[in-house]
């Protein structure tokens, strides 16, 4: 594969899936000590990658669960955050300014903080009650964070008797690193073709629903906008028919992410409409990825992981074709803000 280190990828994702047991143990202890709600508190891309886990608990668990932006939490507070709260905080660097400020806020209010990070000797890892460290870099962090957050949600549901299939799902996830590598290999030709198609495109609308919406939002904001300076309009498939559809014409690029959960019909509705109104429709459907012996329930849960691993291949080709390295920034960590 183009510009890709397969052993490094397998090593990082193996590190992520190996955290199932430690995360389950930590969550079990906190729940046994009386934890009554859960907060996912992450900045930027890392925060977005927590969204599928938050959605899963929102739909399938009766434990109160909240998704909060760190900068807002510090300014407004939250009446539900207290000594009975579990706060899950992701930051790949472990140094994100807004996240560290929120960590200090949560600790002052007695909440128990679980950190998900790529580095141990950092303010986040040192300040958290429990820190799960799995080194990753930008091109491998999506899958790692998605997996860790999913383990948090599955563990909570298991402890509360809300997930009878926990063991089988986790067993599926243990096999995922090698399967993801196969997905990348199979997707490589399409990734290069797609990168060629859009390398000069000035503007895109990107959409998804259910667990694929966070990945659509992430890929549009963090990759195409931040790392490629391409103008984007991320819009949830539920909202597509309340604004974005009026921007669609035969020359407007629309990217649709389709997953395999119960909200798939929302993305399909956009796809059906778009086929009549643009010649630049690009649909990426996780149902097309070959995952031998992985059950339907697990496939629905990992749809954003599959899309992330496939779209990384697009990113690798896009930076080369546009002669714009993914690390190039005007402002991000370059100037004060």
CATH code for the domain in which residue 131 is found:
3.40.50.10490
How confident is residue 333, by pLDDT bands cut at 50, 70 and 90? confident
Is residue 264's pLDDT more than 90?
yes
Core vs surface per residue 307-327: b (16+ CB within 10 A) or e? bbbbbbbbbbbbbeeeeeeee
Per-residue pLDDT, averaged over 192-198, amounts to 98
Instruction: Find the domain containing 39 and state its range.
Output: 6-173
Same domain (yes/no): 272, 306: yes
Supply the pLDDT for residue 238.
97
pLDDT of residue 202: 95
What confidence score (pLDDT) does residue 14 get? 98
Q: What is the pLDDT of residue 177?
A: 98
Overall average pLDDT of the 100-108 stretch = 98
Q: How many CB atoms lie within 10 A of CB 69?
A: 16
Checking if the pLDDT of 88 tops 90, the result is: yes
Calculate the average pLDDT of the chain.
97
- Asked if 317 and 226 touch (Cβ cutoff 8 Å), the reply is no
Same domain, 77 and 183: no
Let me know whether 189 and 278 are in one domain: yes
* Residues 6+ positions from 114 with CB-CB distance below 8 Å: 26, 27, 30, 86, 87, 88, 89, 128, 129, 130, 131, 132, 152
Query: Does position 120 have pLDDT exceeding 90, yes or no?
Result: yes
Task: Confirm whether 280 is domain-assigned.
Answer: yes
Q: What percent of the chain has pLDDT over 70?
A: 100
| pLDDT tens digits, 123-154 | 999 999 999 999 999 999 999 999 999 999 99
Q: Is 121 found in the same domain as 89?
A: yes
Q: Is residue 299 part of a domain?
A: yes
Say whether both 227 and 316 belong to one domain.
Answer: yes
Are both 253 and 135 inside the same structural domain? no
Same domain? For 203 and 316 the reply is yes
> 198: part of which helix (H) or strand (E)?
helix 176-198
pLDDT at 200: 97
pTM, to two decimals: 0.97
Residues 246 and 306 in one domain: yes
Number of domains in the chain: 2
> Do 236 and 301 share a domain, yes or no?
yes
Find the range with the poorest average confidence among 267-281, 298-312, 323-337: 323-337
Q: Check whether residue 258 and residue 120 sit in a common domain.
A: no
Question: Residue 92: inside a domain, yes or no?
Answer: yes
Give the pLDDT confidence score for residue 301 in this predicted structure.
98
Residue 262: pLDDT band (50, 70, 90) is very high
Instruction: For residue range 200-245, list pLDDT tens digits in order.
Output: 999 999 999 999 999 999 999 999 999 999 999 999 999 999 999 9
């Amino acid at each position: 594969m183009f510009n890709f280190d397969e052993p490094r990828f397998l090593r990082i994702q193996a590190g992520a899936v190996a955290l199932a047991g430690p995360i389950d143990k930590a969550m079990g202890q906190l729940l046994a000590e009386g934890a009554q709600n859960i907060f996912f508190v992450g900045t930027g891309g890392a925060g977005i990658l927590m969204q599928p886990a938050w959605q899963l608990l929102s739909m399938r668990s009766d434990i109160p669960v909240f998704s909060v932006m760190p900068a807002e939490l510090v300014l407004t507070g939250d009446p539900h955050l207290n000594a009975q709260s579990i706060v899950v905080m992701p930051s790949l660097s472990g140094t994100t300014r807004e996240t560290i400020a929120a960590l200090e806020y949560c600790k002052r209010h007695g909440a128990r903080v679980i950190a998900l990070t790529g580095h141990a000797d950092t303010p986040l890892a040192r300040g958290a009650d429990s820190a799960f460290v799995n080194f990753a870099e930008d091109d491998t962090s999506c899958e790692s964070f998605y997996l860790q957050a999913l383990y948090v949600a599955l563990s909570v549901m298991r402890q509360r008797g809300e997930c009878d299939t926990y063991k089988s799902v986790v067993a599926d996830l243990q096999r995922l690193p090698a399967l993801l590598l196969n997905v990348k290999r199979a997707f490589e030709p399409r990734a290069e073709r797609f990168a060629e198609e859009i390398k000069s495109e000035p503007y895109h609308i990107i959409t998804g629903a259910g667990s694929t919406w966070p990945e659509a939002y992430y890929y549009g904001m963090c990759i195409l906008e931040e790392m490629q300076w391409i103008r984007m309009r991320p819009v949830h498939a539920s909202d597509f028919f309340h604004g974005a559809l009026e921007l669609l014409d035969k020359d407007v690029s629309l990217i649709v992410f389709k997953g395999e959960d119960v909200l798939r019909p929302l993305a399909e509705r956009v796809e059906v409409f778009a086929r009549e109104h643009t010649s630049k429709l690009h649909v990426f459907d996780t149902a097309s990825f070959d995952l031998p012996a992985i059950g339907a329930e697990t496939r629905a849960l990992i749809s954003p992981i599959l899309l992330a691993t496939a779209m990384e291949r697009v990113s690798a080709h896009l930076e080369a074709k546009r002669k714009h390295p993914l690390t190039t920034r005007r402002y991000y960590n370059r100037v004060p803000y």
